[in-house]
Structure 1
Amino acid sequence: MTFLLGLTGSIGMGKSTTSAMFRAAGIPVHDADQAVHDLYSGVAAAQIEAAFPGTTVDGVVDRAKLSAAVLGRPEALAKLEAIVHPLVRAEEQAFLVQCHRSGASAAVLDVPLLLETGGESRYDAVVVVTAPADVQRKRVLGRPGMTEEKFAAILARQMPDAEKRRRAHFLVDTSLGLVAAERQVRSILNAVAGRFGRVMRAD
C-alpha cells in the first residue's frame, strides 16, 4: 500500500517549494493547483464560460477575469468549486491508481485547502507547511498583482495557520531556510518509512 501524505499550507508559506523537495526525493506528487491550471485550459473551460460568461479567452480561462468574477462573492465561488472540484478529484484518483500500480511506498497530494474542505481523512498523515505571519505577508505582497484586498480575501478563505499546525502530523517551517526545510522533509520520509508508517497502517 502507498502511504498518502496530504501536503497543505496557507498562501505564501512555501508549499510549492516543499512539494518540489518531495519530488526531488523521488516521491510522486499530485499538485491540485496544477491540475486546476490544466483544467482551465482543457475540459473545464467551457463549463466555466457557461457559468461565468466572458471569463475565457480563446477557449482558455483567464484567471484574472475569473478571480474578479468570484472575489468576495461566496455564491459565485461555490458555483466555481462545484465545477472544478469533481474534475480535480477525478485527476487525483487517476494519480493514486498509478501510484498503487507502480508500487510507490509513499505519495504526496498537494492540496491548498485540504483542511478547510475536511479532506484530511483521505490521507494517512497531514504535512503543514508554515512560516511566521510577517514572513508570509512579505512573501505574498511581493507577488506581481497582489494587493492588500486580494491578500485579505484569500486569508479569509483559509484556516488560521495556528489551527493548521495543531491538526498536522508533521510540520515544515520554511522560514528557517532551504537546507533546514530539506532536512525536515527527509525526517518526514524517514518517519513514514519507519515506525510511524506501520502504526498508521495498523490503526
Structure 2
Amino acid sequence: MKVWALTGGIGMGKSTATATLRRLRIPVFDADAAVHRLQGPGGAAVRPIEVAFPGTTRLTSLGRVVDREALRKRVLGDAPALKRLEAIVHPLVRQEEKRFLARARRRGARLAVLDIPLFFETGGEDRVDAVIVVTAPPAIQRARVLRRKGMTEERLNAILARQVPDALRRRRADHLIHTGLSRHHAQRAVRRLVASGGATP
C-alpha cells in the first residue's frame, strides 16, 4: 500500500483536496480531526493537558473536554508551553495514524493519505512514499483564513510563525496542487495525480 502525505499551510486548500480524495474512495487520515477526538469526551489527551495546563479543561454533559479557546490563550506566543503541549498531543496522534494505516491495509487499500498540516514541522518524511503540498498565493491564503470565525491578524500571524514557509514546503514536495485558480482546477489536479499513481510528470 502506498502512503502519501498531504500538507500545506493554513488556508491553502487541504479541505478541497481531501474531499476530492474521499470522493475517489481513498482513505484519508485527518490529523486535525484526530486532535479534536483526543481532546473531546473520553479523549486520551484531556487528563494530561489538564495536568500540564490546569484550568484548560471543563466538564460537560458528555464528560471532561479540553477548552480549546482557554488552551489556545495559554500557549499562544509561549514557545515552551507549546512544546509541552506538542509533547502530549503528537505521540497520541501518531498512535491514531498507525491504527488508521493498519485498518486501510486490512481492507486492501492500494493508497492511503495522511492529511497532516504540520507534516514537515514534525519530521514525517521518512514514513511516507510521497509528499503532496497544496499551495496558493499569500493574498488568497490570508483572505481565506481571515474569513473564519474568530480569526484575527494577530492569531493568523502567530499560526504562520509556527509553520514552515510555503516556499520551503514547495521545494520539499514531490507533487504540488495549486488551489489559487479555482476549486475545479484543484480537484482536477488531484484526480490526475491519483490516476497517475503519483508518477512524476
**Structure 2 residue 132 is matched with structure 1 residue 133:** no
Q: Displacement, 1:25? A: 0.8
Q: Quote the sequence identity (%).
A: 57
Which residue is 1:33 aligned to?
A: 32
Which residue is 2:166 aligned to?
A: 161
Q: Which amino acid aligns with 1:144?
A: K
Divergent runs of 4+, >6 A: none
TM-score of the superposed pair, with normalisation by structure 2: 0.94
**Structure 2 residue 82 is matched with structure 1 residue 81:** no
- In 1, distance between residues paired with 2:27 and 2:103? 10
Q: Which amino acid aligns with 1:176?
A: L
Q: Displacement, 1:75? A: 0.5
Contact 1:3 1:192 (8 Å CA) reproduced: no
Root mean square deviation, CA, Å:
1.2
Q: Which runs of 5+ in 1 are unaligned?
A: 198-203
SS in 2 for 1:175: coil
SS in 2 for 1:112: coil
Which residue is 1:99 aligned to?
A: 104
Q: Displacement, 1:175? A: 1.2
Instruction: Name the count of aligned residue pairs.
Output: 194
TM-score of the superposed pair, with normalisation by structure 1: 0.93
- In 2, distance between residues paired with 1:191 and 1:165? 20
- In 2, distance between residues paired with 1:63 and 1:19? 24
Contact 2:29 2:100 (8 Å CA) reproduced: yes
Contact 2:16 2:186 (8 Å CA) reproduced: no
The structure carrying a bigger helix percent of its residues is 1
Which residue is 1:201 aligned to?
A: none
- In 2, distance between residues paired with 1:82 and 1:70? 13
